[in-house]
Chain A
Amino acid sequence: MFRKILIANRGEIALRVMSACKELGIATVAVYSEADRHSLHVRFADEAICIGPPRSSDSYLNIPQVISAAEVANVDAIHPGYGFLSENANFAEVCEASHITFIGPSPTMIRMMGEKDRARAEMGAAGLPIIPGSDGVVPDEDAAKKVAAEIGLPVMIKAAEGGGGRGMRIVRTKRELIPAFLTARAEAEQAFGSPNVYIEKLIENPRHIEFQVMGDRHGNVIHLGERECSIQRRHQKLLEESPSTALDPGTRERIGRQVVEALRKVGYSNAGTVEFLRDASGDLYFIEMNARIQVEHPVTELVTQVDLVKTQIRVAAGERLDDAVGSFQPRGHAIECRVNAEDPDTFVPSPGHITTFRVPGGPGIRVDTAAYADAVIPPYYDSLVAKLIAHGRDRAEAIARMQCALDGFVVEGIKTTIPLHKRILADPDFVAGKFDTHFLEHLASVEAK
């Protein structure tokens, strides 16, 4: 088992990884930018090293600085968290070359899943249902026209190297196709350094359903159930839950089996999430895979009682899944609300000085956060302030506990999405489990009336 791990991240996920390390008796090393000098992850680590000025590119994304810190602190492994360098295959390779274990999938897997069109092709070949679409990157306008004609409009143009909703364009008419194709390429180039795009059939009113997986270094892969993440704004998840009200046990079992088979075939290891869109008729289509631990992992942890981060560390150290995870039984229902430092109506970011920070508790409530009263949320990083997760015997209890917890979560000094979450939890369609990825838009327009 590792003696010492460096966490190449900040905020709540850095604290999360540090907890897992402490439980395993592993010493922790935090890295931080000058903007995070007073952060909790710095204060609670066994050692802390300043690696740069506030900007991410100069600090948390600065591979030489992170590796150098790992060497100076003489760590055995690095956990990259999510975001930042977690899906940077080059970083994973540099770790390997420096004889530091990268706690995550292999560079090959990261690369495969990072190139979205390639992931689609590989997973399709491995047996997962994929959305009808182009055979890889669409190189030019003629090819775009051909693909669109083959699969039929409406289509979605997506950046091959991207994510997060950028470099994406919806095309409903033939006239829009080429202008959208060119704009998507330009945006993709800007955001991800590559203009490559691929085209897929547009699934109208989809539900976003993802499966949590875990593999060891001995060829074993399991899935730990699904999460529903349809409550999104501009492709950014806001609320997640497990299990999905849209999946019947038969579909869950079938897709789960296909996912495990596909990942065994390609040789996947460590944590990952396989994302699907479910269309109106109930069919699931693979869209992409995230080769890392995800923000919403606590939802699965509360339902399965499996500590996913500790498991990541254990399989990275060579343990078999049978030992690292053992058997588990999904129990009850969990919901996560992302509390972001944003205006709940306009979503304008609201960094600043937190004056009051009262966190809820009680049965079935978990809060993952690095914020505290008197902390400053800096403007340089993402707006996540806290993750509030509620678990109950069933969905109704989880919702009731979440509503109570939201009422008891007092944050002053910055704006947060707490008021919006209260509205979501009170919405009859949400409570009935009847929604898709357009839910938040509808919520906003209903209130505008």
Chain B
Amino acid sequence: MAKKSKLESRGGSEIRGVDLVEVERLLAFMEKHKLEEFEYEREGIRIRLKKASAHAGGAIRVVSAAEIGRPEEMHAAAPAPKSGGAASRGSAAAAGADIHLIKSPIVGTYYAAPSPGADPFVEKGARVEPGQVLCIIEAMKLMNEIESDVAGEIVEIFAQNGSPVEYGQPLFGIRPQSKK
């Protein structure tokens, strides 16, 4: 089921310019017609709903008019391929404009901790510095350390430990804060 609760828990059931009741109606429309992916644009707002894999659940991505490059017409896509990035991208986009996203530079498997059973590199709420290791992405038997490029606070961790990640997939959301 869609992760609507994620948005609601941000204190309120409103996203500027979007009628959540309408979004719920679109989700019901998708369910009824067994759609995997649905895109809709009206009055400068483009809504794209895409079902990701079963455990990640659905994700809602709301794009404001400013982000729209080119107007797209309403269309329902063929069943979408399973893509690990979908859920993570969806919730990342809803994160807000002041959040700096750390995106994966490679394809691989995401690990939150340096070894199985060890404490994760960072948790939500942690303060990080530029150059600090946030996670490991394993690719071709090599462990690649992914570092933060900003100083700030980890407000969101999008990737799941042990799951595959693709190029450009959001891993962390950091609220940049200058050093005190």
Contact = CB atoms under 8 A, between A and B. Distances in A.
Contacts of B169: 50
B83 A48 contact: yes
Interface SS of B by simple majority: loop
A51 B166 contact: yes
A289 interface: no
B139 A64 contact: yes
A68 B106 contact: yes
Contacts of B85: 50
Contact of B82 (A47, A50, A374): A47
A49 B166 contact: yes
A98 B168 CA distance: 24
Contacts of B81: 30, 42-48
Given A49-B166, A50-B169, A44 B78 contact: yes
Interface stretch (A69-77, A261-269, A329-337): A69-77
A333 B5 CA distance: 62
B139 A68 contact: yes
Nearest to A31: B107
B67 to A, nearest CB: 15
Most buried by B among A30, A65, A72, A98: A72
Interface string A38-60: 00001111111111110000010
Interface string A321-357: 0000000000000000000000000000000000000
Interface residues of B, number: 20
Contact of B107 (A42, A53, A69, A98): A69
B58 interface: no
B167 interface: yes
Contacts of A98: 140
A65 B139 CA distance: 8
Nearest to B53: A47
Nearest to B70: A353
A46 B164 CA distance: 16
A45 B77 CA distance: 13
Interface in B112-165: 139-140, 164
Nearest to B137: A68
A50 B82 CA distance: 12
Contacts of A44: 78, 81
A34 interface: yes
A65 B169 CA distance: 14
Interface in B75-106: 77-78, 80-85, 106
A51 B166 CA distance: 6
Given A47-B81, A72-B107, A67 B140 contact: yes
B108 A72 contact: yes
Contacts of B168: 34, 50, 53
Contact of A52 (B108, B109, B167): B167
Contacts of B73: 374
B140 A47 contact: no
Most buried by A among B73, B82, B84, B140: B140
Given A48-B83, A49-B107, A50-B169, A64 B78 contact: no
Contacts of A68: 106-108, 139-140
B71 to A, nearest CB: 12
Interface string A270-281: 000000000000
19 contacts: A30-B81, A42-B81, A43-B78, A44-B81, A47-B81, A49-B84, A49-B167, A50-B85, A50-B166, A51-B107, A59-B167, A64-B139, A64-B140, A65-B139, A67-B140, A69-B166, A72-B108, A72-B164, A73-B164
Given A43-B81, A65-B139, 12 more contacts: A44-B78, A48-B82, A48-B83, A50-B107, A51-B107, A51-B166, A53-B168, A64-B139, A68-B108, A71-B139, A71-B140, A72-B107
